[in-house]
Amino acid sequence: MKEKIINFFQDVIKEMRKVTWPTKAELLESTKIVIVVCIVLALFTYVIDIIINQVFKGIF
């Protein structure tokens, strides 16, 4: 059992060495995109919520 665990972690280390990590510039660009998309989705949800709220106020 101990040997299987050791082999597992050795395999993990081997695979992690194969990973192509993003550069700092790529990471910053991706982060900006994620933040902008989150803000847009939050605003969209807020507007839809206001519209639905007004519709329900008109019905009741």
Three-class DSSP category at 29: helix
Residue 13 included in any domain: no
For residue 8, tell me if it sits in a domain: no
The answer as to whether 24 is a domain residue is yes
pLDDT at 58: 86
Residue 47 lies in a domain: yes
The answer as to whether 14 is a domain residue is no
Is residue 4 situated within a structural domain? no
- 0.85 cut: is pTM over it? no
pLDDT tens digits, residue range 2-49? 999 999 999 999 999 999 999 999 999 999 999 999 999 999 999 999
Cα→Cα distances 20→2, 17, 34, Å: 30, 8, 20
The Cα–Cα gap between 15 and 35 comes to 30
Inside any domain, residue 2: no
Can you give the residue range of the structural domain that contains 27? 20-60
Residue 60, pLDDT above cutoff 80 = no
Number of domains in the chain: 1
Residue 5 lies in a domain: no
Rounded-to-integer distance, Cα 55 and Cα 38, Å:
26
Instruction: List all residues 6 or more positions away from 16 whose beta carbon is below 8 Å from its beta carbon.
Output: none
